[in-house]
């Protein structure tokens, strides 16, 4: 049984700008569990409640009701548990007049790290995020991508067991995105838990073990990525070569769509059993199988289905 690292219990956030204005519910009863060692993708369109959920977990916004537990401890009552957590906010802002190293040093001091430990860790992190030449530059001179990277470095300064990243891939160029993705995968390899929000679905599909989809402040779907996607096998494509003409109608009759090109026969099946039957038939009739591909739905399709207005 995997250990639950992050758990929210009916987390709810209501806002009221003025006492006369209408109460807006930004987050409805969020019940979520993230297990140790997994990469969890938190998906949702802009304004769906991703950032509010994360802020409520950290008590950056005080939840109206409900609780967030990290490593079994209520964050509101035991803020000390945050010593095991790293956090990168969305579009992070930092102190303009501090240098990269000074900023990381301040963050490290908040975790009570000693001076030699801080020095070693800061050099290591600057190398990890590719800012080893910019540590002595004031943060106001950093580009957006560099700020995102220094943000990642500060999130990892304490060697956290749980890393929570709010839109970590936003604002990065393709190279920067690849570096962040590699970083997330290396964190997973080290056995750390990563929870990140994003709306860049192919990246989520590539990185996550499990996902949760939030829409209008409600968690509408959670599950293992492979399950969510395999549930949604749309069609199966079978391509065979060297199948004699006389056997082709028999096989084609099972398919929803058939295309013949040269010596190849490309068949599309609406369901898996028909495809399995046709595959068996082709092999028995001496055909050579070039490919057999179940066409699953992309995460994007699953996502769009869930967040339909």
Partner 1 sequence: MIRRVVAVAQNTFKEAVRDKVLYILVIFALCLLLSSYVIAPLALGEGGKILRDLGLSLVPLFGLAIVVILGTALVYKEMERRTIYILVSKPLRRWEFLLGKYLGLLLVLAVVALLMTLFFYGVLYWFYGGGEARLLWGIWMSFLELAVIAAVAIFFSSLSSPTLSAVFTLAIYVAGHWTQDLRAFSAKLPGSGLKGLGTFFYYALPNLEFFNVKNDVVHGIAVNPSHALWALGYAVLYSSALLALASAIYERKSFK
Residues in contact with partner 1 by the rule CB under 8 A: 55, 58-62, 79-83, 85, 87, 89, 92-98, 102, 106-107, 109-112, 138, 151, 154, 158
- What tokens were used for 46? 């802009």
37 vs 86, beta carbon nearer partner 1: 86
158 vs 235, beta carbon nearer partner 1: 158
CB of 144 to partner 1, least distance (A): 15
CB of 219 to partner 1, least distance (A): 21
73 vs 285, beta carbon nearer partner 1: 73
83 vs 175, beta carbon nearer partner 1: 83
Task: Report the 10 Å Cβ neighbour count for 231.
Answer: 11
89 vs 130, beta carbon nearer partner 1: 89
CB of 55 to partner 1, least distance (A): 7
- 251 φψ region: left (φ > 0), alpha (ψ -120 to 50), beta (else): alpha
CB of 102 to partner 1, least distance (A): 7
Sheet containing strand 39-43, edge to edge, reads 85-88, 162-166, 193-198, 39-43, 210-215, 218-224
Is residue 118 a contact partner of residue 105, using CB atoms and an 8 Å limit? yes
- Indicate the Cα dihedral angle 279, 301, 44, 125, nearest 10°: 50
- What tokens were used for 138? 């004031």
CB of 9 to partner 1, least distance (A): 19
């Amino acid at each position: 049984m995997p250990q639950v690292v992050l758990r929210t219990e009916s987390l709810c956030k209501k806002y009221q700008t003025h006492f006369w204005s209408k109460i807006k519910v930004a987050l409805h009863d969020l019940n979520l569990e993230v297990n140790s060692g997994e990469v969890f993708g938190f998906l949702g369109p802009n304004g769906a409640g991703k950032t509010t959920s994360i802020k409520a977990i950290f008590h950056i916004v005080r939840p109206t009701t409900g609780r967030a537990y990290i490593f079994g401890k209520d964050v509101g009552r035991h803020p000390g548990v945050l010593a095991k957590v790293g956090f990168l906010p969305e579009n992070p802002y930092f102190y303009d007049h501090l240098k990269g190293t000074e900023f990381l040093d301040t963050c490290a001091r908040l975790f009570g790290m000693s001076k030699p430990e801080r020095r070693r860790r800061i050099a290591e992190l600057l190398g990890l995020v590719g800012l080893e030449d910019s540590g002595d530059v004031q943060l106001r001179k950093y580009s957006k991508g560099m700020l995102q990277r220094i943000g990642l470095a500060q999130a990892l300064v304490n060697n956290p067991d749980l890393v929570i990243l709010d839109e970590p891939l936003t604002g990065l160029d393709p190279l920067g995105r690849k570096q962040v993705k590699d970083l997330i995968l290396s964190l997973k390899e080290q056995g750390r838990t990563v929870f990140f929000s994003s709306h860049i679905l192919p990246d989520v599909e590539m990185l996550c073990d499990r996902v949760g989809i939030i829409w209008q402040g409600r968690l509408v779907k959670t599950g293992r990525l492979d399950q969510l996607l395999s549930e949604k096998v749309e069609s199966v494509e079978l391509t065979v070569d060297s199948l004699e003409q006389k056997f082709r109608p028999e096989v084609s009759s099972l398919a929803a769509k058939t295309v013949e090109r040269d010596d190849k026969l490309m068949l599309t099946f609406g369901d898996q059993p028909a495809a399995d039957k046709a595959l068996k038939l082709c092999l028995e009739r001496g055909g050579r199988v070039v490919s057999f591909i179940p066409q699953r739905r992309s995460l994007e399709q699953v996502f769009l289905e869930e967040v339909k207005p």
